[in-house]
Amino acid sequence: MPTLTTSIEDTSPVIVYSQSNGYQSWRAGSSKTDASLDSYSSGSYMVTNASQASVSFSFYGTGVQLFGSKRQGHGFYQISIDSLVYPQVNGGVNDTQGQFNVQLFSTVALAAGYHTVKMTNLGTGDLDLDYLTWQTPIGEVEDTLRTITLQDTDPAFTYNPSANWFNTPANLGFFSGGTGHATSIAGSWLELKFTGDAIALYGPLTPNGPAYTVSLDGQASGNYSSASQAIYRPQQLLYQAGNLQGKEHTLKVQTEDNTSGSQFVVDYALVYSTSTAKSTGPSLSTGAIIGAALGSFFLLVIIIVALFFGFRCWSRYRKYGKIAVQQPRSDSEPRHTLQPYQQGPTTYADSSNSHSRLIPSTSYVSMRSDQQQSTSSSTNITPPSTAAPWSPPPGTRVIYSTISDPFVAGPNKADDLQAQVVTVPFTPGDKYRPDLSSPTLDPAPQQARSSILAAGPSHYIGSPNYSEGVSAEGQPSPNAPLHPLRPGEVTTGTWTPPAYQSGNPF
């Protein structure tokens, strides 16, 4: 626990010297009567030779020490703290030079609290007081003590009425920071707002200085005098208080009747606090604390759930890799469509026959954007019987398409040629009816296959594809000569290339 040690001179107003019959029992040491004045702290001391004259001081702390001298002519004295009286002590010595800066009394075993120490002269010998110190505990064991200096110009100070105060007191060169505030009008006061564990207010003492009263947080703390016994003394302790619990406080100092017209002057203040000074702001209600706790709990749950699912997705990604997502197909892409395909009469020369053929054809082509063109008929065709030559039913149109296999190695691979017969349901009015039946693949008629096989090897690889001939009326005729078909050409008839001998897909 930090401990604050404060030292004050004999001239401080917080030290109370007794009086006798209205007169001071104590007097200030003077160089006129004492050649050893400079041996005292700050060149000053208070001395008495009156029996039962006393000096007292009140403080908050755990220890206190009184310093003075032991010289020839000094007598016995006694110390008391609160109700505890200590044994008498002889303050005289035979040394003509005397002893200075002597510890007349010391204790550090007091319980933390407010105490009053009193030193009493027991005879008519001399007793002097040079200065005293005391110890004040602040904060907790692990805290660090901080000291904040507030100059008289700090906004924490307010002076009332403001017209009664001025900032040009005498001897500014002796002031901390070179500034000070003074008043010579009785009833003027100042207020200082601060937050800390202890406070000390400093200012100069002048001969015949006015009396003043001090209150802390509205509670009167005592009456004091700013008059020094002999000469001007700067930066003297005007007031001190401890055990303030690190909270916000208001110190008020007000001047009393001032018949001499002398000035009351303030220089600066020291505020002592710790690193864990308590906040003076409004505290949260119980409901607000519970609400904040619940909110924090639910936020923690959400974070845990998010981390769980994130880790799970990451683990699955490491195990299976990135999962491709198929994009939906755009409605603008062409679907399966059916449109008429017209090919007019075509005339060309047959390399094996000197006459020309007219090949009328009317068909329907089923197309998709991602498929090759295929041809279709208007009605379903009953699969032909292998026992007799096949011919289409009356009133139907049959479309055949030839496909040559580029991987066939020689003329003996006639069985590697294949054809697809695609039938598409149509009504007699040539309207497409998908609800009647789905397109099917039918095997090639046996008659057409036999005709192709009879045509000879020259009709296969290296030669144009052939179809069975047609009559002059455009009807299929097995006796009509064959004519070549250009690649991809479509005609009517009953011809088809031979199906595969092995693995026939039909």
**How confident is the prediction for the chain on average, in pLDDT?**
75
Q: What is the pLDDT of residue 463?
A: 38
Among residues of the chain, what percentage have pLDDT more than 90? 45
In this predicted model, what pLDDT tens digit does every residue of 33-71 receive, in sequence order?
999 999 999 999 999 999 999 999 999 999 999 999 999
In this predicted model, what pLDDT tens digit does every residue of 270-321 receive, in sequence order?
999 986 654 444 455 667 788 888 888 889 999 998 888 888 887 777 776 6
pLDDT higher than threshold 50 for residue 116: yes
**pLDDT confidence tier of residue 235, bands split at 50, 70 and 90:** very high
Q: What is the pLDDT of residue 437?
A: 54
Q: What is the pLDDT of residue 303?
A: 93
Place of tokens 């001007």: 232
Give the mean model confidence (pLDDT) for residues 103-108: 97
Judged by average pLDDT, the poorest of 12-21, 72-81, 187-196, 367-376 is 367-376
b/e map 490-499, b = 16+ CB within 10 Å: bbbbbbbbbb
Residues 6+ apart with CB under 8 A from 155: none
Q: What is the DSSP string of 258-308?
A: -SS-PPEEE-EEEEEEETTPPP-SPPPPHHHHHHHHHHHHHHHHHHHHHHH
Judged by average pLDDT, the poorest of 132-136, 229-233, 328-332 is 328-332
**pLDDT confidence tier of residue 241, bands split at 50, 70 and 90:** very high
Distance CA 19, CA 52 (A): 10
Q: What domains can be seen in the chain, in order of their start residue?
A: 1-137 (2.60.120.260), 140-279 (2.60.120.260), 337-492 (no CATH)
Q: What is the pLDDT of residue 44?
A: 93
pLDDT higher than threshold 50 for residue 350: no
Let me know if 431 is exposed, middle or buried by CB neighbors in 10 A (0-12, 13-18, 19+).
exposed
Q: What is the pLDDT of residue 143?
A: 86
Judged by average pLDDT, the poorest of 94-103, 157-166, 330-339 is 330-339
pLDDT higher than threshold 60 for residue 436: no
**pLDDT confidence tier of residue 126, bands split at 50, 70 and 90:** very high
Are 55 and 18 in contact, with CB atoms under 8 Å apart? yes
Give the mean model confidence (pLDDT) for residues 396-415: 48
Distance CA 173, CA 185 (A): 24
Are 235 and 267 in contact, with CB atoms under 8 Å apart? yes
pLDDT higher than threshold 70 for residue 212: yes
User: Radius of gyration over alpha carbons of the chain, in Å?
Assistant: 62
Token pair in block for residue 65: 């020490």
Q: What is the pLDDT of residue 55?
A: 97
Distance CA 81, CA 302 (A): 63
Give the mean model confidence (pLDDT) for residues 429-440: 57
Give the mean model confidence (pLDDT) for residues 388-397: 55
pLDDT higher than threshold 90 for residue 495: no
Judged by average pLDDT, the poorest of 252-256, 350-354, 486-490 is 350-354
Q: What is the pLDDT of residue 311?
A: 82
Give the mean model confidence (pLDDT) for residues 149-162: 97
Give the mean model confidence (pLDDT) for residues 131-146: 91
Are 201 and 269 in contact, with CB atoms under 8 Å apart? yes
Q: What is the pLDDT of residue 335?
A: 53
Are 150 and 194 in contact, with CB atoms under 8 Å apart? yes
